[in-house]
Chain A
Amino acid sequence: MLKDISSSYRYHSKRGKAILAEPRGSNSLRLAVLSDHVVPRLQSILASCLEEKSLSAEVYESDFGTYQIEVLDKSSALYEFNPDIIYLNLCSQAFRERFYSLSLSEKESFAESYFEEITGIYTPLADQGKSIILNTFPQIEERIFGEDSPCVLNSLSSNLNRLNQLVISKVKSNPNLYLLDVGFISSRLGLLNWYHEKSWYQAKIPFHPFNAVCLAKALSDILAAIRGKLLKCIVLDLDNTMWGGIIGDDGVDGIKVGPGGEGEVFSHFQNYIKTIHEKGVLLAVCSKNEEENAKIPFNSHPHMIIKEEDIVCFIANWTDKASNIRQISLSLNLGLDSFVFLDDNPVERAQVKDALPQVVVPELPEDNSEWVSFLDRLNLFNSFGFTDDDLKRSQMYKEEAVRVQAKTKYQNINEFLISLDINMEINPFRENDVARIAQLLQRSNQFNLRTQRLTEGDCRMVINNPGSYLGLSVKLEDKFGDYGLVSVVNCRRESQNLFIDEFAMSCRVLKRGVEEAIFEYLINYCRENEIQFMRGEYLKTPKNNLVKELYGTLGFIKLEETESSSLWELSVMDTQVPTHFINVRRPND
């Protein structure tokens, strides 16, 4: 048992108890945990882990062993609870008990038949558009064929391996499924630290009781990612973080990065960061340096893995780092809570942490050979696969920086917008766009009117019900480059009204006339379909103040207003079509 895990267990279970005593926020997740075992203090620990991410959840736990019945019985407490997310939490020991009850020949295909049972449990729930979390299964120290066990079909070892492969491939192919890799979590601790058989016999806890904290932490990471809480930019220090030594003092030949000794530590670190970058996370530099010096290694050191073109925003000066990071956040239009700051210097970290508490500042270990595994353990970049736009994101942000420069050259904004030669394509929701649409709705916080967070399943529901819904996705390009899919509108048809259920836009394309062009489209749509009123609602979140008055600027009249919301209406026939300078292509053009 590892010391920091037991103290973390005590800390979170105590803290979570206090959190649970308070009422949950209205924006809580609804999570049902269906287990074939007991997880000690799961609700408290999870509440505490979620609270650290500014999230909360209403949690329903089935009694262990009753979850199959609860799923089948439509009048059960599970259905009454009506969860959004279901974690089907299964363990190796329960699998083992079933396994031992079988004949030799049945054992040969047990993983497959067990997986069919699992599928039978979650499929009705997934079909209702619920998100389902499945876990992998740790190996057990019962290898009766010794080293050969994984090769023998009717061994426990082979069955667990096959079961894991089945779970993984299912999650990969079904967008409503998410993976909690308990197999990896247990191997990181080592099976000797993972298991505590006494707790299984006494209380049906399948691991050392304190390891519940590892499970709850991973679960909270997945929930945060489902909720769209993603970190989007890593701000990197340079000297002694990206390379060993100080470029201003040691020169490009003196710094350490590349093959041999300490340089390999920095190469590995750069490789790890570069891979995170490749899956769509932006990189920025913030270094106390002369800019000229700071850029030398990027341009002339043969072993630098992260290149200057990977960096979306490069700041080297002597200003304090918190101010610089605030500047980066402004120029990229990204909230501070989507930033991670990596610096070897504890003083710099403390300054940033103190001034910008929203920024994630990992306390990197003193020994930099541990950095990669340390960062990996924090699991900061949980996300689900990646889309083509992830690959292009960094390029798009850089193009934005050029646009900001171009803006200053023009006398007035209209002239500038015309010069951009903006082309827009509006399409109804299409299967090919569903992944990006759901992703955009998860990621957009500032320009997001109702923060509905539609999942891929929800988008398909819109596609399949064209009579009730109008889902539109918007692509944009201009003379500087292609932005990809930047905005999503989803409307509900209500007899004479069109209710805008969700409207979100990437902040990269603010102030281009995109919203005006979209509303021109919607107004024309309403007129063609004899819809008289368009209604829109603003639901306040800590981040979307930007669009509080959006409907007003688009000509809507305010019907109602409360602390946290406002309702707006536009009379379609009377209104003027908003002005913009975008060439719009409609689906039928």
Chain B
Amino acid sequence: MTRERLTEEIIELIQGLLDDDEIQVSGSSTASILEEWDSMLQIELIASLEEQYSIKISLNEASRLSSIQAIVDYIQANL
């Protein structure tokens, strides 16, 4: 899968978890910039990534995946 396609998928996944469709998520979004990306969203996000890509993300990795780019890197490396 191309990096672009994967980025789109991750954005779509986060948007699916957010309660508000108006919130703009982009390839450069990070947890520290995007207000709605709180600790609960992080938990939901990790669980959703595990489900969607049939992977197990370690506790250690989970806390590092706090930007779209970091997630894309991780998924590409572990698919």
Contact = CB atoms under 8 A, between A and B. Distances in A.
B59 A6 contact: no
A555 to B, nearest CB: 55
A202 interface: yes
Nearest to A6: B51
A146 B3 CA distance: 47
B47 A10 contact: no
B47 A199 contact: yes
A150 interface: no
Interface residues of A, number: 21
B40 A10 contact: no
B31 interface: no
Given A13-B19, A198-B59, A40 B43 contact: yes
B17 A209 contact: no
B62 A202 contact: yes
Nearest to A1: B51
B50 interface: yes
A196 interface: yes
Interface string A148-167: 00000000000000000000
Interface string B38-49: 011001101110
A212 to B, nearest CB: 10
B32 to A, nearest CB: 18
Interface in B23-64: 39-40, 43-44, 46-48, 50-51, 57-59, 62-63
Looking at chain B's contact residues, the main secondary structure is helix
A198 B44 contact: no
Nearest to B40: A40
Interface residues of B, number: 17
Contacts of B62: 198, 202
B43 A209 contact: yes
B47 A17 contact: no
A210 B47 contact: yes
A98 interface: no
Given A1-B50, A1-B51, A198-B62, A205 B43 contact: yes
Given A13-B19, A17-B19, A203-B39, A40 B44 contact: yes
A114 B19 CA distance: 39
A208 B39 contact: no
B1 to A, nearest CB: 21
Contacts of A209: 43-44, 47
B51 A202 contact: no
Interface of A: 1, 3, 6, 10, 13-14, 17-18, 40-41, 44, 196, 198-199, 201-203, 205, 208-210
12 contacts: A1-B47, A1-B50, A13-B19, A17-B19, A40-B40, A40-B43, A40-B44, A198-B57, A198-B62, A203-B40, A205-B43, A209-B47
Interface of B: 16-17, 19, 39-40, 43-44, 46-48, 50-51, 57-59, 62-63
